[in-house]
Amino acid sequence: MNLNGLILKNPVMTASGTFGYGLEYDDFMDVSSLGGIIVKGTTLNPREGNPYPRLAEVKQGMINAVGLQNKGVDYFCKHIYPLVYNYKTNVLVNVSGSCISDYVSTAERINELENIPGIELNISCPNVKEGGMAFGTSCESAQKVVEAVRQVYKKHLMVKLSPNVTNISEIAIAVESAGADSVSLINTVLAMAINSETRRPVLSTITGGLSGPAIKPIALRMVWQVSKAVKIPIVGLGGIMTAADAIEFMLAGASAVEIGTANFIDPAISAKIVAGIINYLERHNISDVNSIIGGLIV
Amino acid sequence: MKLILQSPSNLPIINPGQFVEVQTPDSSKTFLRRPISIHDVDYTRNRLILLVKTVGEGTKSLSNLSIGSTLNLVYPLGNGFDVSNVKHPLLIAGGVGIAPMMYLGKSLKKNDVEVNFLFGAKSSSGLLLEDEFRKVGNLYCTTEDGSAGTQGFVTQHAEIEKLGIDYDSVFVCGPIQMMKAVGNIVKQKDVTCYVSLENTMACGIGACLCCVTDTVSGHKCVCTEGPVFDIKDLKW
């Protein structure tokens, strides 16, 4: 598959923040069998993230408030990159920041890494006080940060969009015009959980990001809308648990998918979804997986 | 309730204090796996034994399992208790915190270490498997209502006075307030103290970063860098 220059052996990637650096999953599956992995959100400086509790389980999903805990881009380049260097798949780094210059500096560092063919620019994290989602909720700021990163980042630039907007198509158009090579959607949906017994919020941050099957219908709708608005490829994510879910996203217009929260339920699920997609194609006598992209019959 | 699980293949090496992430049978009511500590291991028959207290929908569905059901587990997870170089330990547990103490006690006994358990519960009904623990070591009990053992908390038991004298290390698992109370006592004595935490977690393998605890060197994952921590490393 050709995702606007990024070659994938299959359409299945793993979502940032749900797959560590891939290494955590080596015991469960052959990480290199995937189309790609998108590693943990990385920022210019180390971040401790939010206080515990960071997790609320809800019906058909979970709300997290991790807050981009990571050791910073220098640590990634020095200590993590050598460990993921030999994966025979696309290792993309999810890049986040609290101001444009942070995004730019981080992207510049990643640009130097030979075996990292792209970044996923995270302008949609709901769990950080400054930056993050703020960049992804207005066309102007989304365009500005993507333009700035585009100046310094020469490889595949994927931009991850927030669902916490009135019109996601407008944002997608803005980042496309700013030079994005692809968009991935959706990030988590802003949500909260309350413990009625204690009358307190479950999360330390009160609100967090909802993921899992609970958000799949929203994600499908947004992929469908964005596919009508932009020409660049779409990577669909949000509650994919099965190969059938992945196929639905592709029918709605996604060229590839990311598996997120499902990795927590079954650490081998991504490889199983690859096999499930192959099975689907065989059952339907489809020789080219690309032919199902946007193949929704309406 | 005791869950005896028969593995279809040989068990891997399991350290005391490690845990499993179990997929609950009725996943329409729950979403994530449930972390449950390993109560005992029977290598000769490839059996894992879990001790499960029903607290919510997940543990309820586990306790409703019928004999012969199949469970999906990811294990063994976490670091576990280090039983090498342990000389005179006291094993302290409260409530369902007794679960990992069986395999810990047996592992220590195998190393020719004398095992002493000090368990606390609200009342006598909360003290489980007393006879089985007595086969492994000495068992001292406290209950809050005095219905069994000494009345009061574990921290008020006479064995606690022997910390730093007869005991050089403690291994603790139970409610956070209890572990902190033990920690406060231990801080004033020359005793190493390991506690097993049970933060809510999603993945169990260090990927989601949801289960962190605050340590002197920043946030650490309870699932992979714990669940057992030296109390010196915690910001308690």
Asked whether residue B221 is assigned to any structural domain, the reply reads: no
What percent of chain B has a predicted confidence (pLDDT) above 90? 91
Is A254 among the domain residues? yes
Question: Coil, strand or helix: which one is A117?
Answer: coil
Contact A129, A204 (CB under 8 A): no
CATH of the domain at A238: 3.20.20.70
Separation in Å, CA of A124 to nearest CA in chain B: 17
What value does the mean pLDDT take over residues B61-83?
95
- Name the 3-class secondary structure at A74: helix
* Domain span at B119: 89-196
What's the pLDDT at A128?
78
Measured CA to CA, the distance from residue B208 to residue B211 in angstroms comes to 8
For residue B101, the distance in angstroms to the closest alpha carbon of chain A comes to: 26
Which of B25, B48, B77 is the last residue before a domain boundary?
Answer: B77
Domain count, chain A: 1
pLDDT in tens, A60-109: 999 999 999 999 999 999 999 999 999 999 999 999 999 999 999 999 99
In this structure, is residue A226 part of a structural domain?
yes
Smallest CA–CA distance from A21 into chain B, residue: B207
pLDDT at A125: 81
> pLDDT at position A230, please?
98
Is A195 contained in some domain?
no
pLDDT value of position A207: 97
Query: What tokens does B160 get?
Result: 């606690």
Give the relative orientation of helices A243-252 and A216-229 as an angle to the nearest 10 degrees: 30
Q: What is the pLDDT of residue B190?
A: 87
B32 has a chain A CB within 8 A of its CB: yes
Domain CATH code at residue B179 = 3.40.50.80
Contacts of B203 in chain A (CB under 8 A): 18, 24, 263-264, 267
When divided into structural domains, chain B yields a total of 2
Beta carbons of A57 and B32 less than 8 Å apart? yes
Tracing tokens 């609970």 back to the chain, one arrives at A214
Q: A62, B32: Cβ pair inside 8 Å?
A: yes
Chain segment B75-131, per-residue pLDDT in tens:
999 999 999 999 999 999 999 999 999 999 999 999 999 999 999 999 999 999 999
Task: Say whether B212 and A49 touch across the interface (CB within 8 A).
Answer: yes
Look at residue B219 and tell me if it is in a domain. Answer: no
Q: For residues B8 and A203, what is the distance between their CA atoms, to the nearest angstrom?
A: 39
Would the pLDDT of A131 be above 70?
no
- The whole-number average pLDDT for the span B201-215 is 97
- Of A248, A225, A285, A224, which Cα lies nearest the Cα of A11? A248
Establish if B190 belongs to a structural domain: yes
Domain assignment present for residue A60? The answer is no
Q: Averaged over A17-29, what is the pLDDT?
A: 97
Residue A130 confidence class, pLDDT cut points 50, 70, 90: low
Cα B170 from chain centroid (whole Å):
13
Domain contains B184: yes
Judge whether A184 and A209 are in contact, CB under 8 Å: no
B36 HSE (CA, 13 A, CB side): 28
Residues B43-69 have a mean pLDDT of: 93
Claim to verify: residue B33 and residue B120 sit in the same structural domain: no
**Domain annotation covers residue A57:** no
B108 shares its domain with B12: no
Inter-chain residue contact A54 with B212, CB threshold 8 Å: yes
B217 touches chain A (CB under 8 A): no
Q: How far is B58 from chain A (nearest CA, A)?
A: 11
Q: By the CB < 8 Å criterion, does A211 face chain B?
A: no
Instruction: Give the pLDDT confidence score for residue B28 in this predicted structure.
Output: 74
Domain boundary among B56, B77, B98: B77
Mean pLDDT of chain A: 96
Determine the distance in angstroms separating the CA of B104 from the nearest CA of chain A, rounded to an integer: 26
Residue A297 resides in a domain: no
Sort B91 into a burial class: Cβ within 10 Å, 0-12 / 13-18 / 19+.
buried
- Chain A neighbours among B 126-165 (CB < 8 Å)? none
DSSP assignment, residue B177? H
Residue B99 lies in a domain: yes
pLDDT of A23 strictly over 80: yes
Determine the pLDDT at residue B232.
Answer: 95
Q: How many CB atoms lie within 10 A of CB B85?
A: 8
Task: Give the whole-angstrom CA distance, residue B78 versus residue B12.
Answer: 14
The boundaries of the domain holding residue A98 are 2-49+67-189+210-292
Residue B235 lies in a domain: no
pTM for this structure?
0.95
Q: Name which of B219, B221, B224, B234 to mutate to probe chain A: the one with the most chain A Cβ atoms within 10 A of its Cβ.
A: B219
**B113 shares a domain with B67:** no
From chain A, pick out residues whose CB is under 8 angstroms from the CB of B202: 55, 62, 64, 261, 264
CB A147 within 8 A of CB A123: no
Report if residue A55 sits inside a domain.
no
Q: Do B190 and B161 sit in the same domain of this protein?
A: yes
- Beta carbons of A20 and A39 less than 8 angstroms apart: yes
At B90, the amino acid letter reads L
Average pLDDT over residues B61-74: 93
Q: Which residues are within 8 A (CB) of A130 and not within 5 positions of it... i.e. 6 or more apart?
A: A98, A99
Amino acid at A195: N
Question: CATH no. for residue B57?
Answer: 2.40.30.10
Question: Residue A48 and residue B213: Cβ atoms within 8 Å?
Answer: no
| Across B25-42, average pLDDT | 91
Residues B179 and B102 in one domain: yes
Q: How many CB atoms lie within 10 A of CB B124?
A: 14
Q: Check: CB of residue A119 under 8 Å from CB of residue A110.
A: yes
Instruction: Read off the pLDDT band of B145 (50, 70, 90).
Output: very high
The answer to the question of residue B205 being in a domain is no
Residues B98 and B171 in one domain: yes
**Active site (catalytic) residues of A:** 125
- Tokens 């997986």 correspond to what residue? A289
Q: Is residue B141 part of a domain?
A: yes
